[in-house]
Copies of this chain bind each other. A is one copy, B any other.
Amino acid sequence: MSKKRVIIIGGGFGGLSAALKLKDSDFEITIIDKTNHHLFQPLLYQVAAAALSPGDIAMPIRAVFRNYKNVHIILGEAYSVDKDNKTVSVNGSNIKLDYLILAPGSRHSYFGKPEWEKFAPGLKTLDDALYIREKILLSLEEAEKIDNKDLVKKYLTFVIIGGGPTGVELAGAIAEIAKQTMIKDYKRINKSQTKIYLVEGLSKILPAYPNDLSDRAKKDLENLGVVVKLNSRVSEITSEGVTAGGEFIESKNIIWAAGNQVMPLIKSLGVETDSAGRAIVNPDLTIKNYPNIFIIGDAAAVKDSTGNLLPGIAPVAMQQGAYAAKIILRHELSSSRPPFEYLDKGIIATIGKAKAVALIKGLKLKGFVAWVTWSVVHIFYLISFRNRFRVMAEWIWYYFTKRQGIRLIVGRSKRTE
């Protein structure tokens, strides 16, 4: 009797956690990912801010599973799923499956204005991060060349849209660049000319955090020189700048960290979704009528015990991936499966160097203590010893020298081929 096969779509936190539990099992595992690496997304903003290298936070998926004969990796984009015939289509082939775990993550939503993406890139992949990094560095270089002080404004103004953890962390990192560290490399431009805005449509940043921690984060950002605009929905983005809360901000450096929407693949499944496009799943994370098809991570709408939607963060995806794998390993019939329960170990966000806010099992942390906790947790969860070593080395260097490590403009030249 041939082995049963589990297909895992997505090599991020959800997919990888599932695969790690299923390696060494009797199943054939096939992981499909559009990139060849697992990305530690919580630190992606540091690649965009030239503080870490891509190699510090990413690991080839093949390397993770090198020694496991039952784990196969396909570099490609799964473009359709046939639920009844039990196949996934990728790279022109149909692959048969017994179980399917969909963990494709999420994309940015531009609130019905996809044309904004050209002017306000998002931050989901290494390619995004390097593009943003280069944009920032080239803006500073451009400003350095210009004689007319009025014309430099748009190159020295940075706007981050979205006051969730990604936006907050990015705003803090860019404020450090523009007010404290990298700006000192330049002879003609100086920190009094740079401006950083964090734009949020709701009445507070970090919506998932208690009010006092959100306030603290806002103050910490303001101390770094960030202008935090609350209650300011974006109404227009052009090549010249962004209009938010009725105010036009002239800027060539707009970064989108708001609004998630779900991948087309999920839409094509024909499952019920919520308003953000996340799939409605059963308590055991499977879709209606198909107990062998799981959707996990950002792509799934799952509620906790109090009825609140679980956030699209790494720990949720990791626990869901491990859960789905265990269900599969035990060959459990859908009738006897325990529901998924998220063990909330806490949430944490950093604001620049040496400050953070955290909520861990009811305990609130702020400032330096929170930041140390954040550092330790993130180092711990990096997937390989090697990456832990490198990130730690970069952070220690930065902490003492205040120099971002990777301020390189490589030149993303277009090549004809």
Contacts and interface: CB of A to CB of B under 8 A. Distances in A.
A412 interface: yes
Nearest to A117: B415
Contact of A141 (B58, B75, B186, B416): B75
A72 interface: yes
A368 interface: no
Contacts of A145: 74-76, 91
B62 A410 contact: no
Integer count of this chain's copies in the complex: 2
Interface stretch (A17-25, A197-205, A400-408): A400-408
Contacts of A184: 66
Nearest to A36: B409
Contacts of A62: 185-186, 407
A127 B91 CA distance: 28
Contacts of A412: 127, 412
Interface stretch (A225-233, A261-269, A389-397): A389-397
Interface in A12-69: 35-37, 53-56, 58, 60, 62-63, 66, 69
Given A62-B185, A185-B60, A125 B409 contact: no
A400 to B, nearest CB: 11
Nearest to A67: B184
Given A393-B393, A411-B127, A187 B37 contact: no
A164 B69 CA distance: 40
A171 to B, nearest CB: 23
Contact of A53 (B55, B69, B91, B131): B55
A325 interface: no
Given A37-B409, A54-B53, A409-B36, A393 B389 contact: yes
Nearest to A54: B408
Given A72-B187, A125-B410, 8 more contacts: A53-B53, A53-B56, A53-B406, A66-B185, A118-B415, A118-B417, A126-B408, A390-B393
Interface in A364-381: none
Interface in A338-389: 386, 389
Nearest to A64: B185
B405 A55 contact: yes
B63 A185 contact: yes
Contact of A408 (B58, B141, B411, B415): B58
A407 B141 contact: no
Nearest to A409: B36
Interface size, A (range): 35 or more
A410 B54 contact: yes
Contact of A415 (B58, B131, B411, B413): B131
A414 interface: yes
Contact of A35 (B37, B127, B409): B409
A37 B389 contact: no
A137 interface: yes
Interface string A100-129: 000000000000000000100100011100
B411 A125 contact: yes
A279 interface: no
A56 B137 CA distance: 18
Given A37-B408, A145-B74, A403 B63 contact: yes
17 contacts: A36-B407, A37-B408, A53-B56, A54-B408, A55-B405, A58-B408, A62-B407, A63-B407, A73-B187, A75-B145, A118-B415, A118-B416, A118-B417, A121-B415, A125-B410, A126-B410, A393-B393
A130 interface: yes
B386 A397 contact: yes
A386 B405 contact: yes
